[in-house]
Amino acid sequence: MYIFINGIPHEADNKESSPIRVKQEKIDSHMFITTNPTLIQKYTVEIESEFLSQNEVELGLEVKEDEIAFAMEKDFYENDLRQAMENFQEEGIIPKNPPFFLFKNKTDMVRLDINAKGNRLTDWIRDKLGDFHEVAVFVAKLLGLKDELLVPQVNMVRLNNGSIDLVEGELDLRPDKKTAVLVHGLCSVVGDNFVELYGLLEAEFNVVAFSYPTVRPAITENASILAEKIAEINDGSEGVIVFAHSMGGIVSRSAIVEEEADISSLIMAGTPNNGSFLAKSMVNQFEDKWFFMAILDEFNPKNWRMADLADLKYESNQGILDLCQESPFIKELNELEQSYHHVNKYFVLAGNKFWGRSDYIVSAANVTSLKAGDSAINLPGMTCAWHHWGYYSDTDYLKTSIKNAFQYLNVPVQSTL
């Protein structure tokens, strides 16, 4: 590890006389990460308060493409993280402003600004009393990263021992069936988060997944490729219905509006149709929080896209910038919607499990309307007590909501529902 003091690099040490002391530690059994990623380094960094108040300090680490570095307030890591994991996995709840920080890529290494203006780490340090503050720093290797596709692709979806599998090779489409295309959200994959939906669709639909990198490419880039894939699918089946989650709904809308994709119906679950307030309000820290949520979910490879999580260490993340509330992209897309009127193709699923108005990540109002200036279009759909990660895996509401969506969109089905 390197310490940058007022821009000048110094090798870290653990001398008693040092104002910043770094101690490398063993990976112990208290680790919160199970199999993916694999923690390969752990440090404890002690920072002298007075020295920090008088100098600009950064921590630096050399990491590989399939590695990522992050820091946590040590007391939170040792005492509160396990409960945070349980709250997330059971209820989808994450701590408010968790003391968690990603190292960002700069030239030949990743760095973390300790006392940058507006940095939550700085705010946390200022709130602490004492002569020294302790930060736990980790380097983790993301398994399976090099095997992931770096470009969008479609795959047949199959159920294997209760879990979703994506089948490599050519699509095996029955021409007498419609095709359901599943489109995931930010830093995610089509995995077990779609398993209940697949069970409802498999009898009457060809079911395929559109997988795409969500962080670095612009949304329009992914939308253009989705439109191309839809055209190929339409040549081999009776039409296409898209089931999108979160950011996937924005990608799908862009494919319809800007690329004229031949999608007969679009069902969007938890989609921030006016952009993500979370992304806008935390544009420099949003990546931290998303990566932290993945940690709370123990990096389940069925739900998280490892390559996207690795991309969060870069600052040029156009996909996230496009997703921001009131971004130029969102404004233009919603303005086009006012003119083209594709609403008759749309049906939305919105969650109000939290505070009676939100799925925890996206407010119900943000899902159910398209706003452009002073104009707004209300979208047809259902609002139920979903949380953001449970739309297509929650059996309590899913069957009824899909049945209502099909009725509204005039989708003929026989045995599915």
* Rounded Cα–Cα distance for residues 138 and 31 (Å): 10
Q: pLDDT at position 265, please?
A: 95
Distances (CA, A) of 365 to 6, 243, 360: 46, 20, 13
* Rounded Cα–Cα distance for residues 416 and 398 (Å): 12
* Beta partners for residue 324, in sequence order: 276
State the DSSP string of 309-375: HHHTTSS--HHHHHHBTT-HHHHHHHHHHHHH--GGGEEEEEE-TBTTTBSSSSBHHHHSEEEETTE
Q: pLDDT at position 118, please?
A: 43
The first and second tokens of residue 149, run together, are 């596709």
Element housing 163 (H / E): strand 163-167
Q: pLDDT at position 117, please?
A: 44
Contacts of residue 277, defined as CB under 8 A and 6 or more positions apart, other chains included, come to 325, 363, 366
3-class SS of residue 61 = strand
Contacts of residue 73, defined as CB under 8 A and 6 or more positions apart, other chains included, come to 99, 124, 134, 135, 136
Q: Please report the beta strands in 172-323, taking only residues with DSSP state E, as ranges in sequence order.
A: 178-183, 205-211, 240-245, 265-269
Phi, psi torsion values for 304, nearest 5 degrees: -115, 145
Distances (CA, A) of 312 to 69, 71, 109, 209: 10, 14, 14, 23
* Rounded Cα–Cα distance for residues 379 and 397 (Å): 19
Per-residue pLDDT of the chain (417 residues; tens, 9 = 90+): 989 999 898 888 888 888 899 999 888 655 555 566 788 899 999 888 788 778 888 899 999 888 889 998 888 888 888 888 888 777 777 777 777 888 888 777 888 887 654 455 555 555 554 567 788 999 988 877 765 656 789 999 999 888 899 998 999 999 888 999 999 999 889 988 899 999 999 999 999 999 999 988 999 999 999 999 999 998 866 789 999 999 999 999 999 999 999 999 999 999 999 999 776 655 556 667 777 877 777 656 567 887 888 888 877 789 989 999 889 999 999 999 987 777 789 999 999 999 899 998 899 999 999 998 888 899 999 999 998 988 998 777 999 999 999 999 999 887 656
Rounded to 5 degrees, what angle do the CA atoms 236, 269, 84 make? Answer: 130
Q: pLDDT at position 344, please?
A: 87
Burial group, residue 115, by CB count within 10 angstroms (0-12, 13-18, 19+): middle
Q: pLDDT at position 76, please?
A: 84
* Rounded Cα–Cα distance for residues 250 and 402 (Å): 19
Query: What is the pTM for the complete model shown?
Result: 0.85
Element housing 383 (H / E): strand 381-384
Element housing 116 (H / E): none
3-class SS of residue 411 = coil
Burial group, residue 357, by CB count within 10 angstroms (0-12, 13-18, 19+): middle
